[in-house]
Amino acid sequence: MRICIVAEGCYPYVVGGVSGWINSMIKSFPEHEFVVLSIISDRSLSGKFKYELPENVTEVYEAYLNDDDWGNKPKEGRRTHLSPKQYRALRSVIFNYEPEWYALFDLFQKTAFSIDDILMGADFLHIVQEYYDKNFSQIVFSDFLWTMRSIYMPLFLIMKTRIPKADVYHCVATGYAGLLGSMAKYLQGCSLIVSEHGIYTREREEELLKASWVAGIYKNIWIEQFRKMSKLAYDRADAVTALYSHAKELQIELGCKESKITVTPNGIDVGRFDNLLGKYADEEDTINIGAVVRVTPIKEIKTMIRAFAFAKKEVPNIKLWIMGPTDEDEEYAKECYELVEIMEIKDVVFTGRVNVADYLGRMDFTILTSISEGQPLTILESFAAKKPVIATDVGDCRELIYGSEEDSFGAAGIICHIMNVEEIAHAITELALVKEKRIQMGEAGYRRVVNEYRVDMMKEKYDEIYKSMRAKLFDETTKERWTD
C-alpha cells in the first residue's frame, strides 16, 4: 500500500516530538511504501533533512507557505477574472459561510491562475471590500486589504501544491495538512486519516492570542481560517485519531463526528532503555535533572531555568541538563543562555541534540515546563528509564504522571501549573531531597509505560486502521489495482 504522510513544520526537517513519531511509524510498517508531503515555510529549507529517511520512504514532496509565485506578474492571455462558480466559492471562504472547497480545489489545481492573479485581481478586491464594509469599516481599508492578502496567500499556495498519488493520505494534523489531505481525497478518491498529537485549532488559537506580530482586530480572522480548515479535515476524514480521551472530547467539540475517532496513545520501544549506563564516578553526589526538549518558546525554558535557580538555593548539588536542539529558534536560545549568565546560575548545561538513551541513565529525574503539549514522548522515555517526571499540566501530562481511573500504578512524578516558578522549584526540591520517592515514582512510571504505551500496541491499532482503509478502497473480489 502506498501511504502519503502529510506533516506541517516537522518531519523530516525537525527532530523530536511529532517528527520522531512519524519516523517511528514509518519504520513500524516496512511492508508499506511511504511518501512524505511536508509543509514548510519556504524553499530556503528545501531538502535540509534532520532524519536519515527509512528505506520504505520513496519520495519527499514539499509544500510552501511562502513562495515566489506571489511576485509573478499575470501572463499575457491568461484569464484574470473568476467564473461565477469560482467567485461564489472564494466568497464563501472569506465570509466564513459553508465553504465551497471543491470549487476552490478545481480552481487552483485545474486552471492557469497564479496566486498573484487572484490576490491582486479585481474579484478578490471586491469580495474583501464587501467583507470590510460589513464587518471592519472602522479601520483603514488599505491595511485591511494587505492583511487579507497575507492571510490568504499561504492557503492559496497550499491549494496549488502538486499532490502525489497515494492509496491513503495520513495527515499528522488538521490545518494546512488536513486541507491537503482533503484535496487529495477529492482529486484522487483515496482514503484519508487525520492524526492529531495536539489539537491544531486550539494550539493556533493560543499562539495567535499571544502573538505580537498580528494586530488584535485580525486575530479572529486568522483563528477562523484555521477552524474552517480543521472542520474540512474532520468532515472529509475516513478515520481520526486522538492521543487521549480529553483530546477526543475537544475534537468532537470542534466538529468531528465521534464515530470517526479512535484513541491511539503514543508508544515507544521500551527495550531501547534497558541496561542504560549510570552516573559517572564524579557524579555520585550530584542530582542530575534532565530536560529533553527543543529550546523554543513553547517549551518555556526560561521558566525551567528560573525554577532551577530557586531550587538550587535549597539543594546546591543539583545540575540541569537541557538536552535538545538549539537551532530552531536561535534568538530564543540566546535569551536562555543570557538568562543563565545574568542570574549567575551554576550547573546548567545545554548539550544540543543528543541520543537521549546515552544520557537518561545518568539522570535522577526529568522535567518538562511546556505551555502546550499533546502526549509527550519524552515522558514515556523517562518512564522507560525508570525516571520520574516533573511536568506542567498540559495535554495528557496529568494522566501520564498520575494515571487514569483504571490504573493503580501510582504517581510517577509531580504535575505543576504552567509558568509557576515557585511551584516548579518546590517540586524540584522535593524530588531532589527524597531518593526513596524518586525510586518509587520511577517504578510506577515504568509499569505504566510497559502496560499502556509500548510501540507494538500503537502499531497494532494503526495496523487495524490501515487495513480498514484498504478494505474501504478496494474490493478484492473485483481484483482492482493495488500498489503493494
Q: How confident is the model at residue 399 (pLDDT cuts 50, 70, 90)?
A: very high
Number of domains in the chain: 3
Nearest to 372 by CA among 14, 17, 13: 17
pLDDT digits (tens, 9 = 90+) for 338-377: 999 999 999 999 999 999 999 999 999 999 999 989 999 9
Same domain membership, residue 90 and residue 138: yes
Which residues are paired to 7 by β-bridges?
38
Choosing from 263, 279, 300, the residue where a domain stops is 263
Taking the C-alpha atoms of residue 383 and residue 375, their distance in angstroms, rounded to an integer, is: 13
Residues 191 and 170 in one domain: yes
Compute the Cα dihedral for 94, 95, 99, 104 and give only its sign.
negative
Q: Which residues contact 180 (CB under 8 A, 6 or more apart)?
A: 6, 37, 39, 63, 158, 161, 163, 169, 171
β-strand pairing of 287-292 with 261-263: unpaired
**Residue 33 sits in the same domain as residue 176:** yes
H or E element: which one contains 245? Answer: helix 245-253
Domain final residue, candidates 263, 284, 315 = 263
What pLDDT is attached to residue 475? 53
Q: Please give the Cα distance from 283 to 347 (Å, whole number).
A: 12
Domain for residue 417, yes or no? yes
- Asked if residue 465 belongs to a domain, the reply is no
Q: Tell me the residue range of the domain where 90 lies.
A: 70-150
- Does residue 313 form part of some domain? yes
CB 9 within 8 A of CB 323: no
Tell me 260's DSSP state. G
Segment 431-447, tens digit of pLDDT: 999 999 999 999 999 99
CA dist 230 and 417 (Å) reads: 29
d(CA 365, CA 385): 10
Q: Would you state the pLDDT for residue 117? A: 87
Q: pLDDT band for position 76 (50/70/90)?
A: low
pLDDT for the residue 477: 37
- Residue 359: the pLDDT is 96
Determine if the pTM surpasses 0.95: no
| Mean pLDDT lowest among 7-16, 60-69, 153-162, 466-475 | 466-475
Q: Is 466 within the bounds of a domain?
A: no
Burial class (CB in 10 A: 0-12, 13-18, 19+), 150: middle
Whether residues 50 and 170 share a domain: the answer is yes
Q: Verify that 237 and 297 share a domain, yes or no.
A: no
424 and 307 within one domain: yes
Each residue's pLDDT tens digit, 263-314:
999 999 999 999 999 999 999 999 999 999 999 999 999 999 999 999 999 9
Question: Does residue 178 lie within any of the structural domains?
Answer: yes
Residue 75 has pLDDT above 70, yes or no: no
Q: Report which of 147, 203, 148, 213 is spatially closest to residue 175, judged by C-alpha positions.
A: 203
Distance of CA 66 to the CA centre of its chain: 19
| End position of a domain, from candidates 263, 293, 314 | 263
